[in-house]
A and B are shown apart, each in its own frame.
Chain A
Amino acid sequence: MSAPVSRRALLRGAAGAAAAVALAPHLGCARFLKRRGEVPVESREVPTACELCPNKCAVLAVVEGGRIRKLNPNPLSPKSRGMLCARGNAAVRSVYDPDRVKQPLIRAGARGEGKWRPVSWDEAFDFAAGKLKAIKGQHGPEAVLWSSTEGFQEEFFSNLGLAYGSPNLVRHPTLCLASVNLAYSMTFGTVPSFDLLNADYVIMSGANRFESIITPDTMDLVESTMNRKAKLVYLDPRFTVTASKADEWFPVRPGGDMAFILALLHVIIGEDRVDREFVAAHCHGFDELRAHVQQYTPKWAAAETEIPAADIVRIAREFADAAPRALYYAGRRSSWYVNDFQMRRAQAILNAVVGSWDREGGVVPNSKIGLGELLYMPWDEPTAPRIDELDARFPLAAKGDGVFLQARENVLAGTPYPVKGWMVYKQDPMNALPDRGRTQKMIEGMDFVGVIDTQMSDTAWFADVILPESTYLERLDPLHGLPGIWPVVVMRQQVIKPIHDTRANLEIVQGLAKRLGLGDYFDYTIEQWVAEQAKELPVDNPLAHLQKHGVFAAPGAPFYGTTRKPDHRFLTRSGKIELYSERLAEAGHDPLPTYVAPTPPPADSFRVLLGRKATHTHAGTTNNAWLHELTPTNDLWINPVPAAALGIAHGDVVEVASKVGKVRLPARVTEEIRPDCVFMLHGFGKKSRQLRLAYNNGASDADVLETAWDRVSGNAAFHETFVTVRKVGEAPHA
């Protein structure tokens, strides 16, 4: 392009001269100096895997001049399907968050006072190891609880707990999806995926997939419902984004979901709409099921669910007609009621009898890509019984995960033995567990609390030592295989060197292990670990492949039907899909899902609902500035009818009180919730003053939620709390 002197250039020159003369910074001298054609800084693109939520989406990090400039989606992962959500995009802000814990800290004041002494890693390790040794000497290794949430480096933390000699590892599943996993395992012998991409008819209870993003389910559901006109029937007491996109939304009476499912079974079996051939070949206990569901008529269910009987009959017929491209979606979703496992079982059974199992558009067992394993020195298995009495109380639950709430209650009671130390990795029990008062009491009863985290969580705020972990963009992590209909292996490689004096979890574990005399068990580097894992991948130069692409996807296309062959043996006792379960009967539970109506809220009380929004992950992102500005605080959703009766106007400050606590927050008077429920978004009302955007902002549901759990899996039951609501302040504008 030739560049004759133009009017624009003249004006530019004039403006520049004026600015130079005035030397006024507000006129922007800096930009005057910035000219087009300046030499770009060094730029490179590093493939890695996101850690802002559990989905592990593939990311291409753009680094300029040593600083992460932007995170782009990596199109190569069939799981994340070339997208990156708001949280994934905002991860840059978490790295450069001024509130980060920038070096190890030892508590200098009272617990929760917020006085810290910055120390060297050596001093922090010596301090923590000294405390852990003292507890072991006095009470035995079982006196330390090791709790963590899933993550690529979680295994090292768990291994340290085991090598230390404690059987008390409690992981996140019983605050998450343990009831779903156990229900599907007890029915199919495995936890499947749901082929939303190819389904024609989807029924979903509460798993608000358009606001609680799960890859690839969220994208697939949009694709199938919007582009292919698949039908979505959605049950939720709250009008969510998913409800707004569904073909039919039913504001189900809370806890009525199971009655709905049982009535669907009643119609489908009663009208002989089952996949007879499949049931005969692969299912165990159909006759018992048929007799059992006779009692659950649509008319009966209509009263329990407030869904008209005619609709239940129609949906049952439509569902069976659409099968095998029909599924009752479980997905990820915390458990709600004390019989959550049985509700999930009912879903699994419905999916089984219509023959959707392992069919395109149905419920599909996961495929997996095998990874190699680095061999390390084994330790003696801990000998003490578990604090949560798992074997006696939850004999069917996953052994390695423990039952979090039972563990907390037993620690508080001091039975069957005292627990005096608590190591926490990548988890914030102060927000994740219901009844925060009791969690805080548990912390107060500890001789030692150590937290490994990337930020000053509420739990870290009350800890004795904080061992700051590098953020995911500053670490190399173990490879991770993501099972699914289309499985993938992702690599999280280091994008930049740690910008503060933080370390990767393995280095933290090794620092502690060395001082605890357990160093030999962790005598390897992360590079060796990753190299061993990569060896098994069916691709040339697997490690180089992953470093270059960040992802290894299973070659070919998804396949279906391997578990439908006549001789296939399911991993259940009978070797078949267990509609009726002898193992459940032996453990003292209902062998077939039996409906027990949930307790209705007392007069003038509301049931608290739990839910998600696409802009935040649990309690972990409310201090991220880019996410904060999209969803800066939370409020209490309340229907206009009860709000009017209580004299509450939109924006008024209300007090929400349960048996265990009360909180204050603004009211959102909205038609988008049933009159007998209230809802507040999780993750606000932080106690940690080092989370400046989230501190004392809104309210924490953990303050009011009461302790309850599913009887079979031990999964925390989050919808069992009733609260009263009263106005305590006017709306600011009023």
Chain B
Amino acid sequence: MRERLGIKRRRYALAVDARKCINCKACVVACKAENDVPLGRFRNRINEESGGAFPRLRASFEPEQCHHCASPSCVRVCPTGASYQRSDGLVLVEGDDCIGCGYCIIACPYDARFFNEQTRIVEKCTMCAHRVDAGKPPACVETCPTRVRVFGDLADSGSEVRHLLDSRRSHVKQPETGNGPHIHYLD
């Protein structure tokens, strides 16, 4: 319908300013609460990197979750179509269709998926699609004390995420996979 009216398709994405990340894990717990993620499993994480020798040390933190790729390898390998992509770019798993084969877990270059032992289906970040559809930001975006993540529609020229990507340098992780990931890390 939107296309027919000449409205561009939405393309949801995340811009991440990792310099502002203080590794407080608010996003990790918010995700857990919002999505009933079982203990010991996570839909998002903060990668830590540190090095150097005393007293010349460095440490950096980088939030990561499903990259909601443009050409998602997880969707390609799914034998049942449980993994699918919405027209707005969000990559989701239809639980009822998932047989738990785990191909997608292996196919994901970002280690974003896991098998939920309780529900017997594969889970991952949904970008809180249920919240987004209700006009609310994903839980990890909303709760962040330092506003590391900016969520929005790349097709909307007025969105903050579009503005950030247009005005600042950014990179994606492992572009060579051809997956076209949509977490854009600001440089």
Which residues of A are in contact with B by a Cβ distance under 8 Å?
Answer: 7-8, 11-12, 15-16, 26-28, 31-32, 35, 69-73, 81-90, 92, 210-211, 213, 215, 218-219, 222-223, 226, 239, 241, 243-245, 249, 251, 614-615, 625-627, 629-630, 639, 671-675
Q: Which of A32, A82, A86 has the most CB of B within 10 A?
A: A86
- Rounded to whole angstroms, the CA-CA distance of A674 and B53 in the bound complex is 11
Assess the A89–B24 pair: CB atoms within 8 A: no
Count residues on chain B whose CB falls below 8 Å from chain A CBs.
Answer: 44
B6 within 8 A of A: no
Chain A residues with CB under 8 A of B145 = 81, 83, 85, 213, 215, 218-219, 222
Binds A, one of B91-99, B102-110, B158-166, B174-182: B91-99
Name the residue of chain B whose CB is nearest to the CB of A244.
Answer: B59
Name the residue of chain A whose CB is nearest to the CB of B22.
Answer: A210
B157 within 8 A of A: no
B29 within 8 A of A: yes
- Rounded to whole angstroms, the CA-CA distance of A213 and B24 in the bound complex is 9
- Rounded to whole angstroms, the CA-CA distance of A548 and B58 in the bound complex is 45
Task: Given A86-B28, A239-B59, answer yes or no on A92-B54 (Cβ-Cβ < 8 Å).
Answer: no
Give the Cβ gap from A305 to chain B, nearest Cβ, in Å: 13
Can you sample 14 A-B contacts with CB below 8 Å? A8-B94, A15-B96, A31-B95, A31-B119, A31-B121, A70-B34, A81-B145, A83-B26, A219-B146, A239-B54, A241-B61, A244-B58, A244-B60, A626-B39
Chain B residues 13-34 with CB under 8 Å of chain A are 17, 19-20, 22-26, 28-30, 32-34
B135 within 8 A of A: no
Name the residue of chain B whose CB is nearest to the CB of A16.
Answer: B96
Task: Given A28-B119, A671-B52, answer yes or no on A86-B57 (Cβ-Cβ < 8 Å).
Answer: no
Chain A residues with CB under 8 A of B34 = 70
Give the Cβ gap from A21 to chain B, nearest Cβ, in Å: 15
B167 within 8 A of A: no
Chain A residues with CB under 8 A of B29 = 86-87, 89-90, 626-627, 630
Name the residue of chain B whose CB is nearest to the CB of A673.
Answer: B54
Assess the B54–A32 pair: CB atoms within 8 A: no
Assess the A630–B120 pair: CB atoms within 8 A: no
B144 within 8 A of A: yes
Assess the A15–B25 pair: CB atoms within 8 A: no
Cβ-Cβ contact count across A and B, 8 Å cutoff = 141
Task: Given A8-B97, A32-B96, answer yes or no on A614-B24 (Cβ-Cβ < 8 Å).
Answer: yes
Chain B residues with CB under 8 A of A88 = 26
- Which one, B55, B94, B96, B97, contacts A251 given CB within 8 A? B55
Chain B residues with CB under 8 A of A84 = 26, 30, 143
Name the residue of chain A whose CB is nearest to the CB of B46.
Answer: A630
Assess the A73–B142 pair: CB atoms within 8 A: yes
Chain B residues with CB under 8 A of A92 = 33
- Rounded to whole angstroms, the CA-CA distance of A81 and B145 in the bound complex is 8
Assess the A614–B144 pair: CB atoms within 8 A: no
- 6 nearest interchain CB pairs? A614-B24, A89-B29, A244-B59, A83-B145, A210-B22, A222-B146
- Rounded to whole angstroms, the CA-CA distance of A615 and B96 in the bound complex is 35
- Rounded to whole angstroms, the CA-CA distance of A7 and B78 in the bound complex is 13
Chain A residues with CB under 8 A of B22 = 210-211, 218, 222, 241, 245, 614
Task: Given A89-B30, A239-B59, A629-B39, answer yes or no on A11-B97 (Cβ-Cβ < 8 Å).
Answer: yes
- Rounded to whole angstroms, the CA-CA distance of A12 and B29 in the bound complex is 32
Chain A residues with CB under 8 A of B20 = 222, 226
Chain A residues with CB under 8 A of B23 = 211, 241, 614
- Rounded to whole angstroms, the CA-CA distance of A213 and B17 in the bound complex is 19
Chain A residues with CB under 8 A of B55 = 239, 249, 251
- Rounded to whole angstroms, the CA-CA distance of A313 and B11 in the bound complex is 53
Chain A residues with CB under 8 A of B17 = 226
Chain A residues with CB under 8 A of B82 = 8
| Contact indicator per residue, chain B 103-132, by CB within 8 Å of chain A (1) or not (0) | 000000000000000011100000000000
Give the Cβ gap from A172 to chain B, nearest Cβ, in Å: 23
Name the residue of chain A whose CB is nearest to the CB of B143.
Answer: A84
Give the Cβ gap from B166 to chain A, nearest Cβ, in Å: 18
Give the Cβ gap from B27 to chain A, nearest Cβ, in Å: 8
Chain B residues with CB under 8 A of A639 = 54
Assess the B40–A629 pair: CB atoms within 8 A: yes
Chain A residues with CB under 8 A of B95 = 31
- Which one, A16, A31, A69, A239, contacts B57 given CB within 8 A? A239
- Rounded to whole angstroms, the CA-CA distance of A615 and B55 in the bound complex is 26
Chain A residues with CB under 8 A of B52 = 671
Q: With contacts A86-B24, A244-B50, A614-B25 known, what are 12 further pairs, Cβ within 8 A?
A: A15-B96, A26-B120, A69-B33, A70-B139, A84-B30, A89-B29, A219-B147, A251-B55, A626-B33, A629-B40, A630-B29, A672-B59
